[in-house]
Amino acid sequence: MEAGKIFVVIHSIYQLEELVAAHTDSETERAVGKIAITVTH
């Protein structure tokens, strides 16, 4: 039972990190997109 709880906690932290990483990537892409638009226009 304890091992199961630990796994769930680790899994939750991993998912949270994935979400943060995905959010950071989309923010970076948006910033790059704005720069690209500014340069082309």
Q: State the Cα–Cα distance between residues 5 and 12, nearest whole angstrom.
A: 11
Q: Per the structure block, which two tokens stand in for 20?
A: 């943060």
Q: pLDDT tens digit string along 6-39?
A: 888 888 989 989 988 888 888 888 888 888 778 7
Q: Per the structure block, which two tokens stand in for 38?
A: 């500014």
Tokens 């910033």 label which residue? Answer: 31
Task: Please state the φ and ψ torsions of residue 39, each to the nearest 5 degrees.
Answer: -70, -45
Its pTM surpasses 0.85: no
Provide the residue type at 25 as one letter.
D
pLDDT at 26: 85
Give SS3 for 28: helix
